[in-house]
Chains A and B, each alone.
Chain A
């Protein structure tokens, strides 16, 4: 049996993961002969961790997904520094920039996305490259470029108040930059957050020293000076970090005549309109998910590996429930599902039995909104309540019915566990004092009445305190309480 030739275009997080998953299912390469084409010079790296690199938590080698020997060890024909010129569907060939070709039986487009730079005067030089003092925040090279340009105490402007822009801003302010975020909308992370959460997030980031210009467009970049805004004001910046979103890298696919909308259109088998060509990750568009996150790419890779190796021909991808998590030091924000549902303000006709529970504590930087339908979590925004975020995410992912006490859920475990310790006198007689020996308060009281008047005597009479010794204080308190309750005291 000759192995099928599978060619992956792209050695980023999606392509690398797919190659790993294929080799895990087919370690000896008897089913699939694998070629990976990537244009970057270094091994694939974990893009999710770039904000941690920017913030100083990890260094560049730490975010590599593979070492130099990965491809050789796994029997993958990996070609880095390789630029693809075009896809020839009829001949089932990929043409490379150096005029050589690679034949395929199945082709996977995993070309990812690129940073989108808004058409603001001055951001690009005449040749189309970014102007000096302007950086996108998408690649390891971008990260190195930014770190090279910043100096403590010098001003930086971040264009974009979405997830990536805020993570960059938080990282840079942590390194001592004076950061201003410029965002054309009035609300931060408006795709995920409602106005209440946006406000708490804004206050919280301001508390870290980040400044904001919201609801206003930048109109011009003046190198060495900063950004000019639509109202004529200026934001000083030695460096402008552009984090205004990404666009799917679909050029090759479109030129080859594949169906492209925002991304390359795929079905549940991760197929494009050419059944021999698949697409996964940021360059792909599946109705069940949004792009730009790694979780869908990894789930798609797992399904496609099962299909391409034939280990599970029934594998299908049905979409990924999205949980957005802001990775920024000292800020705990999760947003998931239908965060904008609100029966009070929406033009709801009342037929939707959606239930919204909300808690706002702006003074302490906490905000929680829970959207429930038919006893299941369908959306939530959770800020500054990490326990609730973790618990509600699991309820959402697993489809577990929501506990009846919704408010306790929003408060996390603070409520049941924070209850003040009860004094020993208030405990019922059946309460266990010495767990090691199953000794209840009632038994100790009886022993005390029979003459065991201190801890050693009670220990001898009941064995309380003779296990781990952890209840010694409680037994001591009990003797004091009993003594105080005696007639004549």
Chain B
């Protein structure tokens, strides 16, 4: 049984990147004053303690025997896993074993997972679900600013904003307490749907799905033509305006209107509102990022911010809203296919040499870059692809694009190993399931959406039979022939090593320690030395490119990868609801949350529903070229008649991702989650 501490322990919510402050007494949650949430919690946060004692909690390893998952001892499960890894690698090479991580893992786990893959497995095949989340914003941020720190300013800076443009984000549902930072600002919300966030907006721009870039180009055109260009800033602090403008010049607002459906008048209003503000911010989220042209789409919003002179100015800026709990830290320390700790490139010889030195291995022994997340999942069990997968903190059966196909690929593996604390839809298909600690049962750091490193202390003792992922990695590594001291299991020790490995990198954590974090210091990376105060606003003096300037991106609108046609005349977009988090593996196990939103639904305009013979509250079948989904019809007057919306948190035949299009962005390899062609019908 779980034994609980009697006293309250300060911690942070286990879900999104806002990392709301809360305190935990046993499994009782109380909100806590913290700059990001200021004492607020949404329903997910309030009920977060439920999972600590949930009856579906895994407490023993499971091994598939005769087709069924059966309880096993840790020793049996570890021995079996290590033996199979060794056999598969012996027969098919090191890259035959792949690793898939998650953006909810602590920095320590993410770091050690990357090291485990490169050193203990020697495989290039590692990526993580953050590829589906932050990769487009990351690539665009690096291109523009030389550094990807989602929000290069503290969240509380937004409190003073006069105008905030939010492109493709719905924080009123996805991170509710965040919205309190926007209460004094005039909001411009860009979203095809009239979301709860859009309802609060002074101006709601409603582009057709997949046309955000044409919209940002139209607004940029209006900024220039209506005399709002920050000429002095553009010449002093940026490069590349002329090339970007030559593209935007062809997107006069009336032309952008025809593509986006957003009136030229509203585009000019948005330009004027932003330009009139003393303090203004442009923020992006998944709506603009999860496209096969997601990097260009974010580049378009950055261009707009640069043309208005916002980034790197105190009281103004550009940022992206990171999604997953450790979506920021998780993308910095080496669980990405092309990356080493400290946001270093695995293809950079100097980075390889430095990190290999910290790890005490030969730089030449480190593998090169591997496949990106979807390409990795798509290759599983194919002749050229991996034959085994070790999966940590992710549920791709529900959350990956073209989920039916991904499920088939997972099923084609010789070996699927998962580490989780509940039997997720993916874990239930595994050969080995390791029950691991969660959130309040372990120490670890998270890096929130503003790049601030947070220490989450262990608040309760984990149930018997459950071990930390760090321990699991160590035990596997040792069985694979690694020295035990190369894979420490104490989070603080791992964090110190992470700091050393990140030293001199872009995301430099080397000056951070558990002691400093325990003392309550607000440390935003980079923190390059123990006495360094951290960098809450890294771009005030200069951007992170060698010449200190930000770069405009010469990007043009291309449109959705799969336009609607006669067979699939509608466009589907997917997203989240307030009560559920990501694949729902956790939140669907919380009775209060499940009761609030128990099943998949499809939002559709009443006329469109009627034309398809559907009724409000009745069943619908939504089909794309890749699969079909059963969902309950919700007629919503404010929907565009050519667009339907589905939340993606539900399993089985209700998986919205059975529909989604795995067309990938050429740079970020982000799949096109946000728009695909579908049709509506009645289930038989």
The chain A residues found within 8 Å of chain B, CB to CB, are 46, 48-49, 52, 57-58, 62-67, 295, 323, 325, 327, 332, 386-387, 389-391, 393-395, 397-398, 400-401, 403-404, 416-417, 435-438, 463, 466-470
Contacts and interface: CB of A to CB of B under 8 A. Distances in A.
A390 B605 CA distance: 18
A327 B173 contact: no
A52 B252 contact: yes
Nearest to A327: B254
B350 interface: no
Contact of A63 (B242, B249, B260, B641): B249
B180 interface: yes
A401 B607 contact: yes
Nearest to B592: A438
B226 A393 contact: no
Nearest to A394: B261
Contacts of A62: 224, 245, 249
Contacts of B250: 46, 65
Given A62-B224, A394-B261, A469-B180, A437 B46 contact: yes
B607 A436 contact: no
Contacts of B39: 466
B249 A46 contact: yes
Interface in B209-244: 224-227, 242
B641 A390 contact: no
B276 interface: no
Given A400-B569, A466-B31, A466-B39, 6 more contacts: A394-B208, A436-B176, A438-B578, A438-B579, A467-B40, A470-B179
20 contacts: A48-B252, A386-B263, A386-B266, A387-B263, A390-B262, A391-B261, A394-B208, A397-B258, A404-B607, A404-B610, A416-B637, A435-B172, A436-B43, A437-B43, A463-B43, A467-B42, A468-B42, A468-B178, A470-B179, A470-B183
Nearest to B211: A394
B264 A325 contact: yes
A70 to B, nearest CB: 9
Contacts of B246: 64-67
B41 interface: yes
Given A62-B224, A467-B40, A435 B196 contact: yes
B249 A469 contact: no
Nearest to A434: B43
B177 interface: yes
B672 interface: no
Contacts of B54: none
A420 to B, nearest CB: 15
A390 B263 contact: yes
B638 interface: yes
Contact of B180 (A395, A417, A470): A470
Nearest to B563: A398
B261 A393 contact: yes
Interface in B464-521: none
Nearest 5 A/B pairs, CB to CB: A386-B263, A386-B265, A468-B179, A57-B225, A390-B263
Given A325-B264, A416-B638, A466 B40 contact: yes
Given A65-B246, A463-B46, A401 B611 contact: yes
Given A58-B225, A64-B246, A332-B264, A467 B257 contact: no
Given A332-B264, A438-B596, A49 B249 contact: yes
B79 interface: no
A49 B254 CA distance: 11
Interface of B: 31, 39-43, 46, 172-173, 176-180, 183, 196, 200, 208, 224-227, 242, 245-246, 249-250, 252, 254-255, 257-258, 260-266, 564, 569, 578-579, 596, 605, 607, 610-611, 637-638, 641-642
Contacts of A52: 225, 252
Given A398-B564, A400-B641, A437 B42 contact: yes
A58 B224 contact: yes
A403 B607 contact: yes
Contacts of A67: 242, 246
A57 B227 contact: yes
B641 A401 contact: yes
A123 B227 CA distance: 36
B554 to A, nearest CB: 12
Contacts of B249: 46, 49, 62-63, 65
A113 to B, nearest CB: 20
A3 to B, nearest CB: 26
B252 A390 contact: no
Nearest to B243: A67
A403 B605 contact: yes
A72 to B, nearest CB: 15
Contact of A389 (B42, B173, B178, B263): B263
Contacts of A327: 252, 254
Residue in A391, A394, A463, A467 with the greatest tally of chain B CB atoms within 10 Å: A467
A58 to B, nearest CB: 5
Contact of B264 (A295, A386, A404, A438): A386
A186 B256 CA distance: 32
B226 A436 contact: no
A390 B596 contact: no
A177 B609 CA distance: 54
Contacts of A437: 42-43, 46
A481 B177 CA distance: 27
B640 to A, nearest CB: 8
Contacts of A398: 564, 642
A468 B177 contact: yes
Contacts of A323: 258
A4 B534 CA distance: 60
Contacts of A48: 252
Contacts of B31: 466
A468 B180 contact: yes
B252 A49 contact: yes
Contact of A436 (B40, B245, B611): B40
A43 B677 CA distance: 40
Contacts of B173: 435
Given A403-B605, A416-B638, A466 B41 contact: yes
A320 to B, nearest CB: 11
Residue in A63, A401, A435 with the greatest tally of chain B CB atoms within 10 Å: A435
Contacts of B263: 332, 386-387, 389-390
A436 B177 contact: yes
B39 to A, nearest CB: 8
A393 B258 contact: yes
A48 B226 CA distance: 16
A64 B46 CA distance: 57
Given A398-B642, A467-B176, A390 B225 contact: no
A400 B255 CA distance: 19
Contacts of B265: 332, 386
Residue in A327, A332, A468 with the greatest tally of chain B CB atoms within 10 Å: A468
Residue in B176, B245, B579 with the greatest tally of chain A CB atoms within 10 Å: B176
A57 B264 CA distance: 15
Given A436-B176, A470-B180, A470-B200, A393 B46 contact: no
Contact of B46 (A66, A403, A466, A470): A466
Contacts of A416: 637-638
Contacts of A438: 43, 578-579, 596
A391 B179 CA distance: 29
A446 B356 CA distance: 63
A467 B175 CA distance: 9
Nearest to B566: A399
Contacts of A389: 257, 263
A386 B253 CA distance: 12
Nearest to B227: A57
Contacts of A332: 263-265
A393 B258 CA distance: 6
Nearest to B181: A468
A466 B638 CA distance: 28
Nearest to B245: A62
A398 B224 CA distance: 30
